[in-house]
Amino acid sequence: MPPLQVLLGFVITRSWRIVPLLLMAVVVLIGVGVPGVTGAENANGAGTATAVSGPVTVTRVAAAAQPLKFGDALFWGDVVEAHKGGFARLWLAASTTVTVKEFSRLELRKEARADGLRYTLELLRGKLRVSVARMLLPQGERVQVWTRNAVASVRGTEFSVETVERLVQARAFGFLGARGVGQGADGGRSPSVETVVSTRSGLVDVSPRWSGGGWVARIGATETLRVNGAQAPVLSRLRAEDLKVFLQGTSQP
């Protein structure tokens, strides 16, 4: 058998985990060689879409939303949204694989700090599954997932973050009354928002997004943490059925 076929066979059958790395390298090389891709765009490059199914869009700064396709380049500041029946898997330059479930909206951000870069995944709504390759993440750099009421910070692990809108009983009028999402008096930080962080492996540090929360929680493998509004978090162990949902709930249809 020719050496090239042997090498391809080894990569496909034995080393499937490095396929995203190879794909990312190809995309970077293509971007360098394509006319019209400026140095600023390359410097702002966040990664690429490694899998897309169903209706998924990407919105760039000062541009209209466009359909996201397999192999499309992503940039910091992009907003990725998976609509009903949509699914996307993203490989980011921060050595992070992000799976975006349907009905989810995600903003990609990068911030340079004195103690290192911060790669922020702003989960505006929906659910994410995130896997961070610690060995590939440079010293001092950190990946964070932000929701409206919590921040999950990691260096290397596999976990999921989900936001849930909790309905609260509103003031009744006549026989019917009304139900709606509660609105807090703290600048839009609605107490009805619940963030659920579940970890399959590694460690995740979770803290309140707004200052004054007074707590920091660390969750380990097969644990889940619920943060309801500005209340103290509730830690519990993932059950077998919960772990099954964790593994299947964000898989590609």
Spatial contact of 159 and 202, defined as CB atoms under 8 Å apart? yes
Spatial contact of 123 and 109, defined as CB atoms under 8 Å apart? no
Listed by start position, the domains of the chain span: 93-248
Biggest CA pair distance of the chain: 80
Mean pLDDT of 32-57: 70
The residue to which tokens 């600048």 are assigned: 187
Is the pLDDT reported for residue 40 higher than 90?
Answer: no
The residue to which tokens 């896997």 are assigned: 131
Structure-model confidence comparison of residues 95 and 4, the more confident one: 95
Mean pLDDT of the chain: 75
Spatial contact of 161 and 189, defined as CB atoms under 8 Å apart? no
Phi-psi region of 103 (alpha: psi -120 to 50; beta: other; left: phi over 0): left
Q: What pLDDT does residue 136 have?
A: 77
* pLDDT 10s digits, 162-206: 988 765 433 332 222 222 233 333 444 444 689 999 998 889 999
Amino acid letter, residue 187: G
Band (248; pLDDT cuts 50, 70, 90): low
Neighbour tally for 244: CB within 10 Å: 11
Amino acid letter, residue 106: L
Band (109; pLDDT cuts 50, 70, 90): very high
* pLDDT 10s digits, 1-35: 554 444 444 443 444 344 444 444 444 444 433 33
Q: Which range among 72-76, 90-94, 216-220 shows the weakest confidence by mean pLDDT?
A: 90-94
φ, ψ at 12 (rounded to 5°): -75, -45
Neighbour tally for 242: CB within 10 Å: 15
Q: What pLDDT does residue 11 have?
A: 44
* pLDDT 10s digits, 201-232: 889 999 998 766 678 999 999 999 999 887 88
CATH of segment(s) 93-248: 2.60.120.1440
pTM: 0.71
Q: Report which DSSP code applies to 184.
A: -
**Tokens of residue 44, six digits:** 């702002």
Spatial contact of 128 and 99, defined as CB atoms under 8 Å apart? yes
Q: Which residues pair with 160 in a beta bridge?
A: 129, 198
DSSP-derived pairing of the beta strands 116-125 and 142-146: parallel
Q: What percent of the chain has pLDDT over 90?
A: 45
**Tokens of residue 149, six digits:** 């009421």
Is the pLDDT reported for residue 92 higher than 70?
Answer: yes
**Tokens of residue 34, six digits:** 């394509």
